[in-house]
Amino acid sequence: MTGSAYRLSGFALLLSLLSGLLSTAGAEDSSCCREDETVSSDVYGAFLRTDSDGGKGEAKIESCPSGTHFGQPPSTPSEPFQLRLCEAPGSWTPVIAALLGVDSGAPCDDFHGVSTEICALQWWGFEWSLDTGGACNRAGNRFAIRLYEDNAGTPGNLLLEWNVVPSRTDTGLLYDVGVDADLPLIHYETELRPCYSETDGWILIEAVDSDVDFCFALTLSSPVGNNQMVLRHGTTFTPTTGDLPFCLIGEGGEGEGEGEIEGESTCDVFCEGTGVCVYECLFGCEWPSFAAECGVAGDGEGGGQRIPLRWGLGMVRAILCNDQQPHHEGVLADYENNLATLEGRGGCQESSAMEAMVSPYRHAVAALLLVSNGIQSRVRNCLGLQCNYPVYDINDKTADEPFSDDGDLDGDGMTNADEYDNVAAWGGSMEDFIEAVTNPSSYGQPMPTVRWVGLACLAALLMFAVVLILRRKTAAKA
C-alpha cells in the first residue's frame, strides 16, 4: 500500500500537528510522498516535487497572452515546481504554512525592463480547503496587489496598491501538491487601474479574507526568471530563491479589458463594480499617491503616533464598509463632510490649486482627517490645508476619539495602541489589527493558549482512533 492511502483530511492533519505527534521531522514519513515522487526542500521549507508519471491533467501549457511586456508562465505538472502560500499575513497563516510544509511569508517577485505602461495582470495558483483537504473556491475571491519600487535588488517604497476581484478560470491542469487530492491550476486576471509605468520593480499578490471559509490561496513557481524573490513577513522582506508565474500586460493587450474593471486610469473609476467595498478599494488605491506626496515611508509609522497612518486608514475603512458597526453613521457623516470640503462643495473651500493637487487621493485624505487630532495635524501640515475638518470623537477628548492611539474603538477596555502592539509583537498584518480593534473578543493576540491545549488533547484522541483503524485494516489484509 502506498503512502498516499494513509493521507488524512486537512483538519485532522492540523490537529495532529498541534498535538506534536508529527514533530519527528527528520524521520521518513510515508504519508508525504508517493513511491514515484521525489521531494526536496529549500532552506525556507518549500517543496519541490517531480512526478515520474509525467504529471496530471491535459497535455497543454499555460502561457502569457499577446501584449505581455514581462511574463513568467507557470511550471507544468510534469516539471519540478515550488509551492508557496499566497496569503496576507494573519493568525492562521503560520498554521497553514506548517501544515503544507512551506514558509508563511507571501512571495514577492521582481520584474525588469518594462518600457511601457502596464494596465493588466495575470497569474496562476491553487485554492485549498482546510476543512476537506482538497480543492475549493474562495468566497469573495479578493486579492490585494502591491507594486514596489526596486531598491538595489529588494522591494523599496510602495508605489501602488489595488484591491481586486479577478476573473477566475480552472485551467483543467491537475497538480499533486502533497495534500489529500490533486489541485486544479487556477488562472486569474484583472485590470490594474490606474495603469502604471515602472521599468524595474516588485509585484506582491496576496489573497484577502481566506479565513472566512478556510479556503486558502497557494501559488507555484515558474521555470522562467532570475531565481530571485522575497517573502513578506509583516513589514520585512526575506530573500529566497524561485520565481512566480505572472504576466504584466500593456494597454489593449489580449488580457486587458477582460476582467471586471473598466474605465479610465483613476481610482474612483477603477473602484466601480470591482466587488470590493468601495472605501477599501479607494483607500488602497489612493494611499501610495498620498504617501508619495507627503514623503511617508512604509505604512506611515512614527510622527508621534503609535498606530501607523495606513492602519488608521484601515480602521476607518472597516467602519465605513460595515453599516452594522455602531460608529458607522457618525463616521460616514464626518467622512462625507471632509470629502465635500476637499472637492469644493463645503462651506469652506481650499484653493483651486489645492483641490487639483489633492484630487487623486482625496478619499484617503478625507478619511485620515477624521482619525484623530494628531493625525489630522500631520496631514494638514503636509498638504497645507486651510479649512476646518471634523475629527470623529465622542466628547471632545483625545481618549474619546475612537480611532486614536488612546481610543477604544470596540469598547473592550484595551486601547487601540495596545492592541496594535499586541499584533505587531507577533508580526500580524493590518487585517489582524483591524479584527482586534473592531471585535471586543479579540485583543490582537494569536490563538489563546487554552485553545491550543484543547486542540492538542482532541488531536491525541483522533490520532489514537486513526492508529486503531489503520492497524485493523492491516490485520484484515494479513
Residue percentage of the chain with pLDDT more than 70: 75
d(CA 376, CA 306): 15
Say whether pLDDT at 47 is over 50: no
Q: H or E segment at 144? A: strand 143-150
pLDDT of res. 58? 41
Biggest CA–CA distance in the chain, Å, is 88
Q: Which cell goes with 39? A: 521531494
pLDDT of res. 295? 86
pLDDT of res. 7? 33
Half-sphere exposure of 373 (CA within 13 A, CB side): 9
The answer to whether 107 and 241 have CB atoms below 8 angstroms apart is no
Q: Which cell goes with 473? A: 485494516
* Nearest of 302, 405, 314 to residue 367 by alpha carbon: 314
Say whether pLDDT at 261 is over 80: no
Mean pLDDT score across all residues of the chain? 78
pLDDT in tens, 277-331: 889 888 888 888 898 888 887 788 887 889 999 999 999 999 999 999 989 999 9
pLDDT in tens, 139-175: 888 898 999 999 999 998 888 888 888 999 999 999 9
Number of alpha helices (DSSP H) and beta strands (DSSP E) in the chain: 12, 15
* Among 24-33, 143-152, 257-266, 292-301, the least confident range: 24-33
Say whether pLDDT at 36 is over 70: no
d(CA 168, CA 446): 32
Own/partner pairs for 42-46, CB < 8 Å, 24+ apart?
Answer: 42/82, 42/240, 42/241, 42/242, 43/240, 44/102, 44/103, 44/105, 44/231, 44/238, 44/240, 45/97, 45/101, 45/102, 45/103, 46/82, 46/83, 46/84, 46/101, 46/102, 46/103, 46/240, 46/242
Q: How confident is the model at residue 128 (pLDDT cuts 50, 70, 90)?
A: very high
Say whether pLDDT at 435 is over 50: yes
Residue percentage of the chain with pLDDT more than 90: 43
d(CA 61, CA 31): 30
* Among 100-114, 143-157, 216-230, 464-478, the least confident range: 464-478
pLDDT of res. 463? 52
pLDDT of res. 462? 52
Domain boundaries, the chain: 40-276, 284-446
* Among 213-217, 233-237, 357-361, the least confident range: 233-237
Say whether pLDDT at 102 is over 70: yes
State the sign of the Cα–Cα–Cα–Cα dihedral 339, 342, 345, 347: positive
The DSSP 8-state label assigned to residue 356 in this structure reads H
Say whether pLDDT at 84 is over 60: yes
Report which residue type is found at 186.
I
d(CA 387, CA 332): 19
pLDDT of res. 451? 43
For the entire predicted model, the pTM comes to 0.61
- Burial of residue 124 (CB within 10 Å: 0-12, 13-18, 19+) is buried
* Among 225-234, 323-332, 444-453, the least confident range: 444-453
The beta strand positions in 21-105, using DSSP E, are 37-41, 47-51, 68-72, 81-85
Say whether pLDDT at 6 is over 50: no
Q: How confident is the model at residue 181 (pLDDT cuts 50, 70, 90)?
A: confident
The angle, 0 to 180 degrees and rounded to 10, between the axes of the packed helices 449-477 and 10-19 is 110
3-state secondary structure of 173: strand
- What mean pLDDT do residues 177-204 have? 90
State the sign of the Cα–Cα–Cα–Cα dihedral 54, 8, 142, 231: negative
Q: Which cell goes with 172? A: 483543467
pLDDT in tens, 394-434: 765 455 899 999 999 999 999 999 999 998 887 777 888 98
Contact residues for 157 (Cβ-Cβ < 8 A; gap 6+): 148, 149, 151, 291, 292, 297
The answer to whether 211 and 155 have CB atoms below 8 angstroms apart is no
* Nearest of 72, 68, 99, 71 to residue 83 by alpha carbon: 99
pLDDT of res. 164? 85
